[in-house]
Amino acid sequence: MTGAGAWYLPPLRDGRPADAGLLERRARAAGSTGEGDAPKQALIGGVRCLLVEPQNGPAQGDILYLHGGGYRLGSPVAYIAYAQGIADQAGRRIILPFYPLAPENPFPAALHSIVAVYRALEDSQSAVIAGDSAGGGLTAALCILAARAGERPAGAILVSPMLDLTAQGDSLDRNAERDPLFSKAAVLDSAQLYLQGHAPDDPLVSALNADPADFPSTLILTGSAEVLLDEALAFARKLAIADRRVTLHVAPGMGHVWPLMAPGSPEAAAAVATMAAFTKALKSAVSGASM
């Protein structure tokens, strides 16, 4: 681990039990393991993680990838094949943590876990932080905290990110019939279970309100048909106006988290290739600056 800054995290809070319907949804999702061999597992910062190594050579650094699921669903197990594709093209090890879910573990429990993983990395400041949906929101929150502590990552990748738990974007309604995976109702349900009284406009849960200066070089990927489109576009504009390094990739006709949900599509292949190119460019920029 590099850096020795002071990290501030809001204190952990008690949650409440998940209802039977949510537990059933988690159980059904647990059966979706994707394809590929079971990866290695390790405790990093005391948190259980899956480790996906590139198959075509030694890893040139890490990508800490945070799964989606609206803070109340999801598992790294479903990400194995998807992560393998990213690892092979980017040439980096993918770390997939099992962070705690709401409502049993409301904000900021997931954030405590991923900060612990990040700070335990051998070279955290060369790492790329990535995530989709709620994992994109956690990625943004981790970037904010890391910047405040003086331990910025090399870059961030936000895929279909949840960046506004106040649910104000027009695309939540405009794309409601085009996005089969997510909805405004799902955003509000996620917010209610995750926040449990915490302010929804806090930048640590709604990064659209964050200071752009807290963000490293950032890649934002969003589908033109998804309900979270507007907040992704607004966040990209905010970073660009503040002269932050930001790259925006909009996949025509794609819905929420299409790189994972439509793995055989040309649009998914293009998204993974864009992530790999972004990651390699970060390494090149660092190497060039040190020469």
For residue 87, give the CATH number of its domain.
3.40.50.1820
Quickly state the pLDDT bin for 38 (edges 50, 70, 90): confident
**Domain assignment of residue 240, yes or no:** yes
pTM of the predicted protein model: 0.95
Question: What tens digit of pLDDT does each residue of 121-164 get?
Answer: 999 999 999 999 999 999 999 999 999 999 999 999 999 999 99
> Hey, which residues does 174 pair with through a beta bridge?
none
**Domain assignment of residue 145, yes or no:** yes
**DSSP assignments along 243-285, one per residue:** T--EEEEEETT--TTHHHHSTTSHHHHHHHHHHHHHHHHHHHH
**Domain assignment of residue 8, yes or no:** no
**Domain assignment of residue 36, yes or no:** yes
Residue 261 scores a pLDDT above 60: yes
Residue 2 scores a pLDDT above 50: no
Q: What average pLDDT is seen over the chain?
A: 94
**Domain assignment of residue 13, yes or no:** no
**Domain assignment of residue 2, yes or no:** no
**Domain assignment of residue 57, yes or no:** yes
Domain hosting residue 68, numbered range: 20-286
- Average pLDDT of span 248-255: 98
**Domain assignment of residue 143, yes or no:** yes
Pairing of the two strands 47-52 and 40-44: antiparallel
Quickly state the pLDDT bin for 86 (edges 50, 70, 90): very high
CA-wise closest residue to 4 among 150, 143, 107 = 150
What is the pLDDT, as a whole number, of residue 29?
81
Catalytic machinery residues? 133, 226, 256
| Count of domains forming the chain | 1
What is the pLDDT, as a whole number, of residue 1?
43
What is d(CA 291, CA 52) in angstroms, rounded to the nearest whole number? 31
